[in-house]
Structure 1
Amino acid sequence: MERRRLLMATNIPLESLSIVISILLIICIIASREHTKLNRLFLWMLAVNAFILGCDIFIWVAGGHPQLVCAMKVANFFVFNLGYLLVALFTAYMVTYIRGKGSIASDKIVPAITALCGVAVLLVIISMFNNMFFYFSEKGYFMRSPLHWISLVYPIIIILLDMVIILKHSRKLGIKDTFALLSYGILPAGAIAVQIFINGLALAYPATTVSLLIIYVNIQVEQSKRLREKELELTQNRIAMMLSQIQPHFLYNSLTSIAQMCKETPDKAGEATIAFANYLRGNLDSLTQKGMVHFDRELRHIKTYLSLEKMRFEENIQIVYSIGTTDFMLPSLTVQPLIENAVKHGICKKENGGTICLETMETAENYTIKVSDDGVGFDITALLPDERQHVGIENVRFRLAAQCAGTLKIESQPGKGTISVVTIPKTK
């Protein structure tokens, strides 16, 4: 009994402090308002860890009260099974983080470890009936069974597998990130090894809390910093994009054409003025648009722009729309610069004009947008003829990659025309 009181005096304050640390980290993550997959996984890890610690404290406090045995069995069930869930969540977190740095050696590690955890959970359920791992004495105390060590071997094996993957990608991760991720293996595994030999000492989840704190300081805070830098870069690119679209020659030519129409066809001039105002509003709205926009909105802006160009060039520009799907999102002003490129550097430089085709398609994995023209084309190995337009195209490529993991591919041959293909994965 004296030994139990000593263990309670050690375990309960240690686990209570671990709960407080976990809750504080949860508050910090939520306050950051960064809803990334990595943050969601980390939040789940913290929440599960805090819940396990709470259940374990309840088992210690309720020990010696036979009337609470049923409640203790339920709490113990959660402690064991959520422990395996916590290991699986860390594996998913680790794989997600490594994949963010580039490719990972095997994409099958998460399903494999999830399957191992599933087997461990099944064994715990069986133990609830045959007392294979644990049981509660008549006085209401948690007791280990002879095979209890098996329940601890499973998380050690999984943690060792995770550590192998981390070490395999250590060069990609860097020293600091490698150390932070390895701490999740070294500290809990060491604590579990101690628990195998010292019955009653609850070190595993406090050790897990310490490793989560290390990960937060070394990875999560740095990740938040990188996200803020990325957001700033995206904001600067939106400004550059907007400025690149407000081209003096285009504005001057459009206003000149409208002024001429006011004398000859006032009704048409009124329509052109509204279209011109909508075009400017679309460009200005893109400056404040931080997230993705629906393709329908992008398509309306494209049609507004092309109506102004057709007003200037009349029969020289033919437009063909082959819209297979519109039910998807993309960064604002992604397609319009490609259309502008087709008009300015393709059709307008061709003696008899030409045709621009805008096509959208949907596959099981992607949404595809294709802009093609039969204009003069250009040498793809060189910069676009207009350096500003080249910057605009690279801006589109950057925003696609940063906001939706999309890609832009341009093919062109002098005298044959240009094809620009935007590919947006259905899952980022």
Structure 2
Amino acid sequence: MDQMIIANVALDIFCILLCLMPILYLTSAHRYKIKLNQYFMGLCISNALMILGDIGDWAIRDIISSGEKILLTALTLLYYISSALVLFFISSYVKEYLKLTKRQSKYFILTVAVLCIVQVILALLSPLTGSIFYINENGYQRGNLFLLSQVIPVLNMILCIICIFVNRKKLSGREMVFFHLYLLLPPVSMLIQTMFRGLGIVSPIITLNILILFINIQHEQELAFHQREKELAELQIDILLSQIQPHFLYNALATISHLCRHDPEAARKATKEFSMFLRGNMDSLHNRNPIPFEQELTHVMNYLSLEQQRFHNRLRIVYDIQHNNFKIPPLTLQPLVENAVRHGILHRDEGGVITISTAEAPDAHIVTISDDGVGIEKAKTFANLGEHAHIGIENVRSRLQAMVHGTVEIKSSNEGTTVTMRIPKEGM
């Protein structure tokens, strides 16, 4: 084994060890639970396997036995199949990082998958047809369609570059530079290695790019994730404080005090509901994840029951729950319902009806809160609207987007207001 071969084998082994570093990091502290990290781990693992397969080409040059031929064939198949996985995972990483729309994501990943499948099929057929490679007494040899196996990664990288260019406004200048380094350097190194066989630079270049990507983009993305976690915690406290307003506590306690004198049984029930309402708010401080919709609905029902004790027939509730098998951020529904009560129907002398309904769409869970109150514009003329309603809605909007990629849509007129929350199924 000459010195060039020894150097290439040693370099491949070193690159495999380098790939293990981000893998070990991402498997610690449950970082792998984040989808973006899962794609990056897949990229590192498939790259390590690709390099392992590449070692066979350098280490097994003269085929003496059938066992060596089988081993070299298996390693070469591992190389080509893993190279297809590298393409798939880097494309999936780009898709997730850019937060592509559902339509963009569908066509982008479908095209990438077709290219990767073609690569895998050609590789699997090669031991029989010699299309990409074949093994003879001199070891690994390139087949007639070898160049096609090099064109496929280039096409994939071009797709990624186009995708990044179309969504360039989502990236900083620094992110653009490092993504393009990763996407452009491997094809260049492949071209050089194709022209000068014996020069093993593809594996080191790809591995180096993975580490650069990890240090400069992936790590920053994780820091940004933790920053969002901190902001979510602050939003949770804000929303909690906005819902436990002194006026509500005073009014609820005054209502319970009144019931104690006139209807002890109703007072007992109201006290229990008040206790459950407070518990629901306090529990949200310790819950950073979405909760079952039924749990959030129960919290809202406790709140509304207390308000009905005060306003009686002026506040009427309709529940139209057609679908409840989904999760929602805690304290998301209640602020919207409270706005409907305080700034909608209670500004009408005769009161009104609040309808809470749910439905299931092909791509989302839908929650609707509608009222037949005075509408947002007219409600602004009342002195007690203040900033509370606006802060509550914006907190809901921010938390819904951050935790489940959901949206809030508001339609209002003089005949009432309808608030619609859409929670994408893929966001869960």
TM-score where L is the length of structure 1:
0.92
Asked if 1:195 is matched to 2:184, the reply is no
Report the Cα distance in structure 2 between the residues aligned to 1:156 and 1:134, rounded to whole angstroms: 19
Name the residue aligned to 1:251: 249
Residues 380 and 361 (structure 1 numbering): CA distance in 2 closer, same or farther, change over 3 Å? farther
Give the alignment of 1:135-214 within 5 angstroms.
Answer: 135-138=134-137, 141-145=139-143, 147-214=145-212
Provide the secondary structure at the position in 2 that maps to 1:181: helix
Residues 164 and 278 (structure 1 numbering): CA distance in 2 closer, same or farther, change over 3 Å? closer
Asked if 1:7 is matched to 2:4, the reply is yes
8 Å contact 1:411–1:420 — kept in the other structure? yes
For residue 397 of structure 1, report the CA deviation from its aligned partner: 0.9
8 Å contact 2:130–2:144 — kept in the other structure? no
For residue 316 of structure 1, report the CA deviation from its aligned partner: 1.8
8 Å contact 2:56–2:76 — kept in the other structure? no
User: Unmatched 5+ residue regions in structure 1?
Assistant: none
Deviates more, 1:382-391 or 1:198-207: 382-391
What is the identity percentage for the equivalent residue pairs of Structure 1 and Structure 2? 33
Name the residue aligned to 1:95: 95
Provide the secondary structure at the position in 1 that maps to 2:328: strand
Report the Cα distance in structure 1 between the residues aligned to 2:412 and 2:263, rounded to whole angstroms: 39
Asked if 1:413 is matched to 2:413, the reply is yes
Report the Cα distance in structure 2 between the residues aligned to 1:105 and 1:280, rounded to whole angstroms: 44
Report the Cα distance in structure 2 between the residues aligned to 1:309 and 1:184, rounded to whole angstroms: 59
Give the alignment of 1:24-173 within 5 angstroms.
Answer: 24-31=21-28, 33-34=30-31, 35-64=33-62, 65-66=64-65, 67-99=67-99, 108-138=107-137, 141-145=139-143, 147-173=145-171
Deviations 1:305-333 (A, max 9, x none): 11111111222211111111111111111
For residue 147 of structure 1, report the CA deviation from its aligned partner: 4.6
Name the residue aligned to 1:290: 288
Residues 263 and 86 (structure 1 numbering): CA distance in 2 closer, same or farther, change over 3 Å? same
8 Å contact 2:5–2:58 — kept in the other structure? yes
CA RMSD in angstroms comes to 2.3
For residue 18 of structure 1, report the CA deviation from its aligned partner: 0.8
8 Å contact 1:183–1:214 — kept in the other structure? no
Residues 353 and 119 (structure 1 numbering): CA distance in 2 closer, same or farther, change over 3 Å? same
Name the residue aligned to 2:422: 423
Report the Cα distance in structure 2 between the residues aligned to 1:219 and 1:54, rounded to whole angstroms: 26
Deviates more, 1:110-119 or 1:71-80: 110-119
Residues 346 and 195 (structure 1 numbering): CA distance in 2 closer, same or farther, change over 3 Å? same
For residue 350 of structure 1, report the CA deviation from its aligned partner: 1.6
Report the Cα distance in structure 2 between the residues aligned to 1:423 and 1:147, rounded to whole angstroms: 49
Name the residue aligned to 2:15: 18
8 Å contact 1:156–1:192 — kept in the other structure? no
8 Å contact 1:162–1:185 — kept in the other structure? yes
Name the residue aligned to 1:311: 309
Report the Cα distance in structure 2 between the residues aligned to 1:268 and 1:27, rounded to whole angstroms: 59
Name the residue aligned to 2:275: 277
Deviates more, 1:357-366 or 1:102-111: 102-111
For residue 381 of structure 1, report the CA deviation from its aligned partner: 10
Provide the secondary structure at the position in 2 that maps to 1:213: helix
Residues 299 and 106 (structure 1 numbering): CA distance in 2 closer, same or farther, change over 3 Å? closer
8 Å contact 1:188–1:207 — kept in the other structure? yes
Name the residue aligned to 1:397: 397
Report the Cα distance in structure 2 between the residues aligned to 1:347 and 1:57, rounded to whole angstroms: 73
For residue 159 of structure 1, report the CA deviation from its aligned partner: 2.3
8 Å contact 1:22–1:49 — kept in the other structure? yes
Report the Cα distance in structure 2 between the residues aligned to 1:136 and 1:355, rounded to whole angstroms: 78
Residues 169 and 388 (structure 1 numbering): CA distance in 2 closer, same or farther, change over 3 Å? closer
Report the Cα distance in structure 2 between the residues aligned to 1:203 and 1:272, rounded to whole angstroms: 74
Name the residue aligned to 2:219: 221
* Counterpart code for 2:202: A
Report the Cα distance in structure 2 between the residues aligned to 1:425 and 1:103, rounded to whole angstroms: 10
TM-score where L is the length of structure 2:
0.92
Report the Cα distance in structure 2 between the residues aligned to 1:231 and 1:105, rounded to whole angstroms: 27
Name the residue aligned to 1:240: 238
Report the Cα distance in structure 1 between the residues aligned to 2:325 and 2:121, rounded to whole angstroms: 43
Deviations 1:370-393 (A, max 9, x none): 111222223089699231222111
Give the alignment of 1:306-345 within 5 angstroms.
Answer: 306-345=304-343
* Counterpart code for 2:228: K
For residue 263 of structure 1, report the CA deviation from its aligned partner: 1.9
Report the Cα distance in structure 2 between the residues aligned to 1:45 and 1:339, rounded to whole angstroms: 45
User: Unmatched 5+ residue regions in structure 2?
Assistant: none
* Counterpart code for 1:388: H
For residue 289 of structure 1, report the CA deviation from its aligned partner: 1.1
Where has structure 1 moved over 6 Å in runs of 4 or more? 102-106
For residue 293 of structure 1, report the CA deviation from its aligned partner: 0.7
8 Å contact 2:321–2:359 — kept in the other structure? yes
